[in-house]
């Protein structure tokens, strides 16, 4: 069965900047964003903050996120965690390989880059843009 050592070896082989927070939890730096990778039982979870929820226009934002989930996100999804919009993915640890791991990291990075302008319209001009 795969372990935290396998995940860490994938990060090393990918050549990405990362920090081990504690055993089984890593922060990966991707295009200025912090991707959290963690082992939760038999699953490797990936979480990337997209933006803070706006004070107004949430219904249209929620609809946009749901539409993006059905049209754009193959394995992961946009979601809401507290007052934050996130992108999440999960993979089974037991069958995880480098190609699958790399594909998720790339997919999440591309989702943020591709949809940045579309989602930034929900951020008030006085707030930070999508991060």
Q: Which residue has the higher pLDDT, 120 or 85?
A: 85
Q: What is the pLDDT of residue 125?
A: 62
The pLDDT tens digits of the residues spanning 41-61 come to 999 999 999 999 998 889 999
Specify the CATH number of the domain 4-120: 3.30.1460.10
34: pLDDT strictly greater than 70 = yes
What is the tens place of the pLDDT at every residue in 71-97? 888 778 999 999 999 999 999 999 999
Domain positions in the chain are 4-120
What's the pLDDT at 115? Answer: 85
Number of C-beta neighbours around residue 106 at 10 A = 12
pLDDT of residue 48: 94
Confidence class for position 127, pLDDT limits 50, 70, 90: very low
Q: What does 68-131 look like in DSSP terms, one character per residue?
A: HHHHT-SS-EEEEETTEEEEEEEEESTT--HHHHHHHHHHHHHHHHHHHHHHHTTS-TTS----
Query: Do 35 and 46 contact (CB within 8 A), yes or no?
Result: yes
């Amino acid at each position: 069965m795969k372990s935290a050592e396998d995940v860490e070896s994938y990060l090393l082989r990918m050549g990405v900047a990362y920090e081990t927070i504690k055993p089984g939890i890593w922060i990966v730096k991707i295009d200025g964003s912090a991707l959290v990778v963690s082992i939760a039982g038999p699953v490797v979870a990936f979480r990337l903050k997209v933006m803070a929820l706006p004070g107004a226009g949430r219904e249209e934002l929620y609809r946009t996120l749901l539409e993006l989930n059905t049209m754009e996100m193959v394995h992961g999804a946009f979601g809401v965690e507290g007052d934050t919009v996130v992108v999440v993915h999960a993979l089974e640890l037991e069958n995880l390989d480098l190609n699958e791991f790399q594909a998720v990291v790339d997919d999440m990075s591309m989702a943020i880059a591709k949809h940045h302008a579309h989602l930034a319209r929900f951020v008030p001009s006085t707030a930070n843009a999508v991060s």
